[in-house]
Structure 1
């Protein structure tokens, strides 16, 4: 099969032939139909986060089940599915206490003595974030996908697998935004726009979108923002505090920078919560004023929107089909696999919401 392989940090992906194995007892072979190009992939390309190389990247996808292992009970051949990088085992402490997105059990991976899921010229390739979806096929654990209704378009379904689940889930699950509360979202890329959409679905009274690109205002408003701040020429923290007369109940950082994480905390009202969704590069730290904690302000991380994805993703599909989840405007461009590097170049310029690789194009 054709796949986009990262061979060296800082270099473009290469389209190469890769071999894929047969499904084990709890594994599913999927024909990839669409794969979103996510900023998280760029972190690994640029070396902000380490990963064994060479590797097939990609982790936001949807497809059709082709084969299943002998013990698979959750999906069957012909099912349309969304994948999720936070594969869960179902029996560890995290899973049994309702925190499936935090599962790190090795049971969802092949043993080191088994044949690898992906190979090239007889040598195993490490699977990227349990998926490796920049490829014509995926071989994954059954608890890394969920069946969805067949009238859902694949290119929009793929986005639910990462950016939408991450953004909407951070609002609804991680921070538990309540109707009428105030929200600020820093960064209007795919995850940030999804957080804005999630805040609107949750009934937030005021949703302030913040971005360095003034052209993102109309897009943010389309997803549910009530206000927009261009941080390129405005002190965002000061502006938010003035607009809300003291700060917001919830702030969401969707970029992955120390500076913006600090801003998210500093724009809170007393008792507010800052949620760091973006991937701050390894080794970087943030600095906060200790006295602020006397006002019961909180800062916390959010892993994949604290999802329960077998439940959440079919519901998000229904939200889209009923018009409440704004996925059409999230797709800025549809590309072929061979154009994947173009998508990352556009991402670096901050000009688009989301590019999607479509495999039937």
Structure 2
């Protein structure tokens, strides 16, 4: 099969012929249909987070089941699925208390470099995130996928595999936004726009979208934003305070992954408010907050993939799309081929697109 291979930070991915194993017990072989280009992958490509190379990156995708291994009963060949990096065992303390996204069982959630599912030029090729979506095929544990209705277009389904689940999940699961409240979202890429959309579905009265790109702010309005702030020419914290009679917001979301925006998300809270950090702040970087601000019950928290229980949450999100409430069509900027992946990431880095998808040409 063809796959985009990551060799080292700041080097282009190369398209290589890769061998993939046959499915073993509780493993599923997938034919990749669509893969989303996400900023998280870009973090690894730019060395902001370490990952053993060579590897195949990619974690947001939709696929068709080709074959199943022994003891797999959840899916069969021909089924349509969404992949998710929140692989779960179903037996650990996290899983049995309803926090499957935090599963720490390394027998199913293999540590970086532990998977032995692909080879390239006679050596083991590392499987990123237990998925490696930037390839024509994937070999994954059965608990890394969720089966979906075949009537759902696979390109829309792929978006739910990470960006949409993370953004909407941060609103629903992590922050638990209440109807009638005011929300601020910093960063209007795919995840931030999904948080905006999630806040609208949750019934927020005012949704303030913040970005430095005017076209993304216009897109945010389409997703449900009631107010926008262009942070290229104003202080977003001061602007949010002005919009809220000096009080600040009860909910803020940081969807970029920068020290400064994480600090801004906390600074714009009203007393009792909660800031949720969605973006991946570079590994080893610290954020600084004023200790006195905590005296008025302000809180800051992280979220892992929107606190998802993906086998429940993703089908529900797709049903919201069918109802016209979740906006997936607005998030697709374009479709590219696998051999155009470096150009696609260059566009992503420029801040221009919302989401480009790699189209592998798989018929539903």
| SS of residue in 2 equivalent to 1:161 | helix
**Change in 2 beyond 3 A, CA 1:110/1:238:** closer
- Equivalent positions of 1:264-283 (< 5 A) are 264-283=265-284
- Equivalent positions of 1:148-159 (< 5 A) are 148-159=148-159
How many Å separate the matches in 1 of 2:206 and 2:74?
Answer: 40
Match status 1:287 vs 2:288 = yes
Could you say which residue in structure 1 is the equivalent of 2:192? 192
1:133, distance to aligned residue in structure 2 (A): 0.4
How many Å separate the matches in 2 of 1:203 and 1:8?
Answer: 44
**Change in 2 beyond 3 A, CA 1:111/1:351:** closer
Could you say which residue in structure 1 is the equivalent of 2:228? 228
* Structure 2 gap segments, 5+ residues each: none
Check the 8 A contact 1:110/1:116 in 2, yes or no: no
Per the normalisation by structure 2, the TM-score is 0.97
Could you say which residue in structure 2 is the equivalent of 1:37? 37
- Cα root mean square deviation, aligned: 1.5
How many Å separate the matches in 2 of 1:64 and 1:310?
Answer: 16
- Equivalent positions of 1:1-361 (< 5 A) are 1-109=1-109, 116-245=116-245, 246-360=247-361
Instruction: After superposing the two structures, state which structure 1 stretch, 267-276 or 69-78, moved more.
Output: 69-78
How many Å separate the matches in 1 of 2:109 and 2:225?
Answer: 40
1:216, distance to aligned residue in structure 2 (A): 1.5
Question: Per-residue CA shift, 1:225-249, capped at 9, x if unaligned?
Answer: 0000000001000000110121111
| SS of residue in 1 equivalent to 2:128 | coil
Runs of 4+ in 1 over 6 A off after TM superposition: none
How many Å separate the matches in 2 of 1:115 and 1:356?
Answer: 26
* Structure 1 gap segments, 5+ residues each: none
1:322, distance to aligned residue in structure 2 (A): 1.4
How many Å separate the matches in 1 of 2:5 and 2:139?
Answer: 16
**Change in 2 beyond 3 A, CA 1:59/1:26:** same
How many Å separate the matches in 1 of 2:326 and 2:39?
Answer: 21
Check the 8 A contact 2:59/2:162 in 1, yes or no: yes
